[in-house]
Structure 1
């Protein structure tokens, strides 16, 4: 228990991208599906990290992000943002991301997701409810 208390809390900007009842997932090579996002760099605000990560992982720039909430899942503090994509906006996997896909919210299953994403699904955020 003591090791868990001594672990440093990581801060991550997580973006829930929505389009026509679907959620955007991204995947690194050999990894499970996750929501776009990543670690907040020293001196970087959560908002700036979210914009940077969305651009780096999906090649989408200048997207309006709405700060939804901040919540802790395990040793990670997620600063959660949402955004709505238009049907003609096509995310393109970039940087360390090898694939992007849209999944109907009702079909999101913990088994297909990274531990962090599955933890967020378990929190029953309204943005992820079908």
Structure 2
């Protein structure tokens, strides 16, 4: 019997004024934008597509930040540079979104993986 192949996901961290962009399908549980790749789609292509589908944002630049191995999923984490004037709008299956400071992340319902990815990102990008 072959071992189970882990799921793969492109996850995007958008930061503006020290706050991270979170999306929600139900207005209760929050996550980073992202999703699973389509056939023959690279993690970067997935990240661009998912960011646009979920938030209507276009990444001016998309940089691979790190890989995060969760319980069942390998996350290819990207940071997206977006225009200062860009305003995200919920799209696709997303009901709402919000910008939240890293310090307030514990005040909303998220997965452990979301909290760990955001913490790792801020730890790596804070002098």
Query: Taking structure 2 as the reference length, what is the TM-score of the superposition?
Result: 0.84
CA pair 10-110 structure 1, distance change in 2 beyond 3 A? farther
Report Cα offsets for 1:70-124 as digits up to 9, x if no partner.
12111100000012344422100000001010001221118521343134246x3
Verify: 1:39 aligned to 2:28, yes or no: no
Report the Cα distance in structure 2 between the residues aligned to 1:48 and 1:61, rounded to whole angstroms.
12
- Structure 1: 5+ residue stretches without partners: none
Task: Report the equivalent of 1:97.
Answer: 94
Q: In the alignment, which residue of structure 2 is the partner of 1:120?
A: 117
Structure 1 runs (4+) greater than 6 angstroms displaced = none
Cα distance in 2, alignment partners of residues 119 and 30 from structure 1: 21
Partner of 1:65: helix, strand, or coil? Answer: strand
Q: CA separation of 1:75/1:27 partners in 2, compared to 1, >3 Å: closer, same or farther?
A: same
Question: Which of 74, 81, 86 is residue 84 of structure 1 equivalent to?
Answer: 81
Which residue number corresponds to residue 47 of structure 2?
A: 50
2:19·2:99 contact (CA, 8 Å) conserved in 1? yes
